[in-house]
């Protein structure tokens, strides 16, 4: 079968306080806010997109910040870690930065021969900074405090925790074109050769694990990238042929989406590269305006008053 998946497109998580989320990811982690819009199904809450300068696929972390939602619980049937690639020699910078600003982080560990620094965001979302075996050549977004020699490059990987990996692995290999790269204990690393970066999915098998509960500090879904809608719809037919339920194509303004829940319980999305984040804002103004889906444009005056100010 032709391999049409081009690694990770974006990952979407749930947060609590929107301003706290914005401050952490733009100031503490040094990402760019590339789009400030609203949840299509709940326009009274933001949908915030963070990434590199242009919001390139494979760099985009998005959040639904629902103030007062309470803490979620990571567990089986969900993505339980987001890994960012960082340059060799940058971990010391990040350890000092996290220590100075009271960010919860762990000791340096090694996984598949790569150094990993785990940390948590203000809601308890599990993230890690990973120095890849092969240096990540993507151009990072820089800030006044975080420069090229330390800045994140975009996604390295994501980890899915499952009671059994077997059926999820078949989705990755038979439908998405991934292959098993290596195994360490109960962690299985799958990779696609179609892209150089954001190409890894780790499956963590936990037969006795408890199911997670989605709320603040947990991942909502993982989106995989395809070139365009034609390829996306061909893949939809292949997914249906495996007796998996999948949505029709949905226009998300910046990409087109399909959603299905893989057999292990994780919500997967198939997202196109087109049309991208500059469709309604120029590159130098990304993230500076509140952009509303056309069906919610009539709510702009009310939403301007309702949504918290980010600065």
Give domain status of residue 193, yes or no.
yes
Query: Which runs of consecutive H residues, i.e. helices, occur in the chain?
Result: 18-23, 91-100, 166-170, 229-241, 300-306
Q: d(Cα 159, Cα 226) in Å, to the nearest integer?
A: 20
Report, as an integer, the average pLDDT of 75-104. 97
Taking every pair of Cα atoms in the chain, the longest distance, rounded to a whole number of angstroms, is 54
Report, as an integer, the average pLDDT of 166-185. 98
Give domain status of residue 311, yes or no.
no
Tell me what pLDDT residue 2 has. Answer: 57
How much of the chain exceeds pLDDT 90, in percent?
Answer: 98
Give the C-alpha distances (Å, rounded to integers) separating 300 from 40, 42, 286, 292, 305.
13, 14, 18, 8, 9
Give the CATH number for residue 209: 3.10.180.10
Give domain status of residue 2, yes or no.
no
Give domain status of residue 38, yes or no.
yes
Q: d(Cα 244, Cα 250) in Å, to the nearest integer?
A: 18
Give domain status of residue 13, yes or no.
yes
- Find all residues with CB under 8 Å of 257, minimum gap 6, and list them: 223, 247, 249, 250, 269, 270, 271, 272
* Structural domain harbouring 295: 8-306
Give domain status of residue 1, yes or no.
no
Give domain status of residue 18, yes or no.
yes
Domain total of the chain: 1
Tell me which of 2-6, 72-76, 113-117, 254-258 is least confident. 2-6
Tell me what pLDDT residue 1 has. Answer: 43
16 token code pair: 């609590």
Q: d(Cα 194, Cα 33) in Å, to the nearest integer?
A: 27
Q: d(Cα 117, Cα 145) in Å, to the nearest integer?
A: 19
Q: d(Cα 80, Cα 72) in Å, to the nearest integer?
A: 12
Report, as an integer, the average pLDDT of 178-191. 98
Task: Indicate whether 186 pLDDT > 50.
Answer: yes
Task: Indicate whether 38 pLDDT > 80.
Answer: yes
Beta bridge partners of 14: 64, 218
Tell me what pLDDT residue 64 has. Answer: 98
Give domain status of residue 3, yes or no.
no
pTM tops 0.85: yes
- Find all residues with CB under 8 Å of 120, minimum gap 6, and list them: 103, 104, 105, 126, 127, 217
How much of the chain exceeds pLDDT 70, in percent?
Answer: 99
Tell me what pLDDT residue 311 has. Answer: 77
């Amino acid at each position: 079968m032709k391999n049409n998946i081009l690694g990770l497109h974006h990952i979407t998580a749930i947060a609590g306080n929107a301003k706290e989320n914005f401050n952490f990811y733009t100031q503490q982690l040094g990402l760019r806010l590339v789009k400030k819009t609203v949840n299509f199904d709940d326009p009274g809450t933001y949908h915030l997109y963070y990434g590199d300068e242009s919001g390139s696929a494979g760099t985009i972390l998005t959040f639904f910040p629902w103030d007062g939602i309470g803490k979620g619980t990571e567990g089986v049937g969900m993505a339980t870690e987001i890994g960012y690639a960082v340059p060799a020699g940058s971990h010391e910078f990040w350890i000092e930065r996290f220590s100075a600003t009271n960010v919860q982080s762990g000791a340096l560990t090694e996984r598949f021969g790569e150094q990993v620094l785990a940390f948590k965001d203000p809601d308890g979302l599990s993230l890690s900074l990973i120095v890849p075996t092969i240096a990540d050549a993507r151009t990072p977004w820089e800030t006044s405090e975080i420069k090229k020699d330390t800045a994140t490059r975009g996604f390295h990987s994501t980890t899915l925790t499952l009671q059994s990996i077997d059926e999820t692995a078949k989705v990755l290999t038979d439908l998405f074109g991934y292959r098993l790269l290596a195994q360490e204990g109960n962690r299985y690393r799958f990779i696609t050769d179609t892209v150089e970066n954001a190409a890894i999915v780790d499956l963590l098998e936990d037969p006795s694990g408890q199911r997670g509960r989605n709320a603040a500090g947990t991942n909502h879904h993982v989106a995989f990238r395809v070139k365009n809608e034609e390829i996306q719809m061909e893949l939809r037919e292949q997914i249906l042929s495996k007796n998996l339920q999948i949505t029709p194509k949905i226009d998300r303004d910046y990409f087109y989406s399909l959603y299905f829940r893989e057999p292990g319980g994780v919500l997967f999305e198939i997202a196109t590269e087109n049309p991208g984040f500059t469709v309604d804002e120029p590159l130098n103004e990304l993230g500076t305006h509140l952009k509303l889906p056309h069906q919610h444009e009539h709510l702009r005056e009310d939403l301007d008053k309702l949504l918290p100010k980010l600065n």
